Amino acid sequence: MAVADTHFVPAPDAFMTSVQDDYFRIAQYRSFAAKMPMLLACLVASSMIEFFMLDELTLLSSAGAIEVGVCMTAFLTATWWIRHGDDAIDRDAALRRMMVSMIICVIGGFVSIVNDVSLYLESDQGMRLYLAFSIFGVGICCFVCTMHIRLMSVIVICLTTVPCTWMFIELGLPGAKAAGILALVMACTMVVSMFSYQHDFRRLIEARVKVEFLASENVRLASVDELTGLHNRRYFIQQCRDWSNKRDADRISLAIGIMDIDGFRTVNEHHGHQVGDAVLKEAVKRIRRVIPASAALCRVGGHEFALVIFDPLAPEEMIAIGDRLKAAFEQPIPVEDIRAAVGCSVGFASYPENSRDVDTVFTLAEYALRHGSAEGSNRCVVFNRELERLRAWQSQLEQALRRAVSQAALYPVYQPIIGSDTGEIIAFECLCRWTDPNLGVVPPDVFIKHAEKLGLIQALTKQILTRTLENMRLWPGSLKVSINISATDVADKAFMEELLRLVAGSSVPANRLIFEITETAVLSDFTGSRRQLDAARRSGIEIALDDFGTGFSSMSHLHQLPLDKVKIDRRFITDLAEDETSRNIVSGIISLCGNLCIACVAEGVENAEQMRILRDLGCTYIQGYHVARPVPAEDVHGLIARPATPCPTTKQTTLMSS
């Protein structure tokens, strides 16, 4: 699979002119080659007629021998052209063949005409008239057959018109002179027409060359990445398909690797596309230096590349290539005054070990890459039986999930959020749960990710919101419920409008709802997210920022968003009692929320010590297993009826212990 190393530069005019001339000469040759057998057949027919019609022509006479020689030469030449006229040749070979043929035809024609003139002088008046018409007729036939070759057609018409005109005039018959003059006029007309025809023929060929050039350019543009000069995904897949369809494909092995430039998106967003393009060009150079010389490299995505190695490779060899690729990106890529720190992850799959379908092998290599990327950057993963089992399970999961969403089989549960000072339940967080008949209980972090991947998350969110609104009608009007909005949908205007219509169409006031979003969702499209969150807040819905502290939000973004609550991620709560750094981070978040007049919710609280520390730090609301586990809608009334217990402070705990 050939790979381009440089950018394509459009052909300059001089180059295009050269190409057009080559095409023109070859087109001349093709037309000439197609007509040569007819031209020579005309000469053979003329010689045969003269030989059998004229009594004085015998094999023993010089004139007869000449006619037979011309006839045999023409026959042999015609036979050669029939056999070799369609040969694939270049411009120079075409010119040589036309030149040789022209010389043979001119010499043969000259000898034949000299012979006819000698016969004319010895014949009666009737035969003279035939010879004049014969020369003129053969001349017209030869002229038509050689019109694409200007020099040859002019020589042919001159070689035949001059003697036949002389013959007509010399006959002295009534009208013969007029016939001679007419032959001369017709010859001149044909020459002028020939020049015009050849001009049109050249323009036609030039136009055809341009059309073919543009067509080939379109094909090239459709298969080559302009930035790196590598072939693209479309070409890569097609070449692999073509290769796998060969007869001997079953006896050959290959490895396909899919590479991702880790960290490229951050570089591109922070420093712009110009820097990003320079990084990609340098990345291609580094990749080329470490992959096998026989490997073909293609660009298959924004910052993804594919390589195919036409050699059988053991998993250890693939890992070794992956290690070299990772090592190639250990040093940052310098671009002007910027040092772009990027890495490289790669996934491998083999043909025919993993599959006998090249498209599937490509998909398996992508799967291996995604699996490794989910565990971190700079990973090299070779598709194996373990991944095959995992992929099969995920396929089963996705099919079951599609079925469950279509049947509205997923259901909400509700975990209470209490006020730290009173211990009273002030809100619930709506959480989604799924129990499949075959797969059993599927964790939310598993099926939510697949629902987003399959495009099912919007339908699922609307189902859960609809059931929650129905449940909320039966609960006290002071209770609020928070609903998680997927990171893929926060900036979706149409989807947000659907949610707001659902809320407006229910009997539940919008101010009893809280939409929870994540930092990552906001940063992917800050402007669009802000616009949709403003619309939700104007309707009365509160906005909470979930998992705060784990993303990349800046303080300016936090200040610009229409937030009512911030939820501290459970990772900071887990070791709150043992780790001073975690306590300092949590204390800082609580102070920040207080300064911004935003309520603070600590989630993942699992013991009394964590709750006590949070109360001391001034956290407003508490959520976690220590308060209560998530419960179905029918058990919410039981939780509400339970007596409230204020969270103890350190001072209260000390007094009780003393």
Digit-coded pLDDT (tens) for 175-204: 777 888 888 888 888 888 877 777 777 777
User: How many C-beta atoms surround the C-beta of residue 381 within 10 A?
Assistant: 24
* Domain at 231-383: CATH architecture: 2-Layer Sandwich (3.30)
At 603-627, the pLDDT tens digits run 999 998 999 999 999 999 999 999 9
Spatial separation of the C-alpha atoms in residues 158 and 147, rounded to whole Å: 14
Q: Residue 435 is inside which H or E element, if any?
A: strand 425-436
What's phi and psi for 408, nearest 5 deg? Answer: 55, 45
Mean pLDDT, the chain, integer: 83
Instruction: Decide which of 515 and 212 is more confident.
Output: 515
Indicate if the pLDDT at residue 658 is higher than 50.
Answer: no
Spatial separation of the C-alpha atoms in residues 648 and 469, rounded to whole Å: 34
Spatial separation of the C-alpha atoms in residues 202 and 238, rounded to whole Å: 36
Q: Is beta strand 513-518 parallel, antiparallel or unpaired with respect to 254-262? A: unpaired
Report the percentage of the chain scoring pLDDT > 90: 38
Structure tokens at 63: 């004139």
Q: Are 291 and 297 spatial neighbours (Cβ–Cβ below 8 Å)?
A: yes
Q: Is beta strand 425-436 parallel, antiparallel or unpaired with respect to 440-442? A: antiparallel
Structure tokens at 444: 């939310």
Q: For residue 477, give every residue at least 6 positions away whose Cβ sits within 8 Å of its Cβ, in sequence order, or none.
A: 509, 512
**Residue carrying the six token digits 């998993």:** 315
pLDDT interval class at 14 (50, 70, 90): very low
Spatial separation of the C-alpha atoms in residues 32 and 77, rounded to whole Å: 13
Spatial separation of the C-alpha atoms in residues 301 and 259, rounded to whole Å: 10
Instruction: Give me the residues paired with residue 483 across strands.
Output: 515
Instruction: Decide which of 319 and 648 is more confident.
Output: 319
Indicate if the pLDDT at residue 283 is higher than 90.
Answer: yes
Q: Is beta strand 425-436 parallel, antiparallel or unpaired with respect to 480-484? A: parallel
Indicate if the pLDDT at residue 111 is higher than 50.
Answer: yes
Spatial separation of the C-alpha atoms in residues 304 and 302, rounded to whole Å: 6
pLDDT interval class at 19 (50, 70, 90): low
In the predicted model, what is the mean pLDDT of residues 409-417? 96
- pTM score over 0.75: no
At 552-577, the pLDDT tens digits run 555 666 777 889 999 988 888 988 88
